[in-house]
Amino acid sequence: MLNFQIFIPTRIVFGPGKLTELGTMSLPKGKKAMIVIDKSGAMIEHGYLDKVQALLAKQEISTVVFDKISPNPNSDQVDEAAKTAREKGIDFIVALGGGSTIDAAKAIALLTTNAGKCWDYMQSGSGGGVNPENPAAPLIAIPTTSGTGTEADQWAMISKSEGTEKISLGNDSTFPAVSIVDPELVVSVSPRMTAYNGINAFFHAVEAFLSTQHQPMSDMLALEAVHLSSHYLPMAIAEGENIEGRTVMAWSSTAGGMCETLSSCISLHAFQHALSAKYPELPHGLGLAKLSVPYFKRLIPESPERFEDLAMAMGYDTQQFDENMRATVFLEGIRALLERTGFDDESLRNYGAKEEDVAELVDMTEKTMGRLFERTPAKMEREDLECIISEAIAG
């Protein structure tokens, strides 16, 4: 029996060249904005920061820039930015960058209007479990990568500074008020980062489709994103300036983020967040890619029909296979996609992963993101968890 909710309050402005609308669109109330960017300097190098500041200036908005966000943003960065925002009387936040930047900006927006520190508000692991008294400051998200879909959900993944925890933070108020998804901002992304981001979008959709919280609209968006990612990610990697490929992958990413909101990720992401908390330099998409086959092969017996649907969305004719084998076509589809996108040439070991860390990684997986196992359509014993991580490290 159908039983679900639909709530995505973000206004999404999508399409090539849409960034210019920042200079004329209705903005959140106030005249002071903090622009959050990463510490790599890419937003400055490509001229994106100047463009955003100029467009906001057209609307008489003064800006302060916080430029210290790292991949896998940490709680100290959030606390420092939020302190500055409170001291300077910032009215709203503008996130310009990839998923890490937008995630950090969501947490900064929440801390701009609430006392205390970021980790006080984490609801699992060693978090303080505090419920915020006030809604977050308004947020405008401008993604410059296509992968996380964070422009269409309320969740922010934050790592604990000086620790090995990576936990999601968010509530209804941390949805971006507006997200400007302009594929022209993604053409500067390197082929490998395009692969890491694109495979993340693919797995967001897959997980949302398999989740026990799936519903009709998430199913439609998930199958769309799986189909588009399977066919266009190799193009986006090989032809970075091809605006068609970039536009399709941008939509795949945003659709995946909507899937996360309407449904949920499952425990594949719990494993990966443990990996990236333990090995902070590990690209998120690479971790998901290496975990995927060991992980999904353990889920197929519980949901064979839905795995067959995913295989068909990837473009495979499952009817040519024996009925008992059709669901496993999805695994072959993943292997083929990972080969075409260069993941076969990479290893978790290059980022410090080793077999002796497996027990600790399982503990981290269960402690910090264990709720995702409740949404996974298969029961897993500890032996299963250890085997998944061990096989991913072995490659």
How confident is the model over 128-184, as pLDDT tens digits? 999 999 999 999 999 999 999 999 999 999 999 988 899 999 999 999 999 999 999
pLDDT band at 333 (very low <50, low <70, confident <90, very high): very high
Tell me the three state secondary structure of residue 35: strand
In angstroms, the CA 319 to CA 154 distance is 39
Residue 369 is predicted with a pLDDT of 87
| Residue 127 DSSP label | -
Nearest to 151 by CA among 164, 139, 134, 138: 139
Rounded to two decimals, the pTM is 0.96
Helix, strand, coil proportions of the chain in percent (round to 5)?
55, 10, 30
Residue 1: predicted pLDDT: 72
Nearest by Cα to 291 from 215, 206, 371: 206
What percent of the chain shows pLDDT beyond 70?
Answer: 100
- All domains of the chain, ordered by start, with CATH? 11-185 (3.40.50.1970), 191-394 (1.20.1090.10)
Closest CA to 162 of 43, 283, 36, 75: 75
What's the rounded Cα separation, in Å, for the pair 9 and 194? 28
What's the pLDDT at 2? 83
Q: What is the C-alpha separation between 265 and 273, in angstroms, rounded?
A: 12
Picking from 316, 374, 291, 320, the residue whose alpha carbon sits closest to that of residue 283 is 291
DSSP 8-state class, residue 389: H
Band of pLDDT at residue 250, cut at 50, 70 and 90? very high
Q: How far is 39 from 6, CA to CA, in rounded Å?
A: 36
Mean pLDDT of the chain: 97
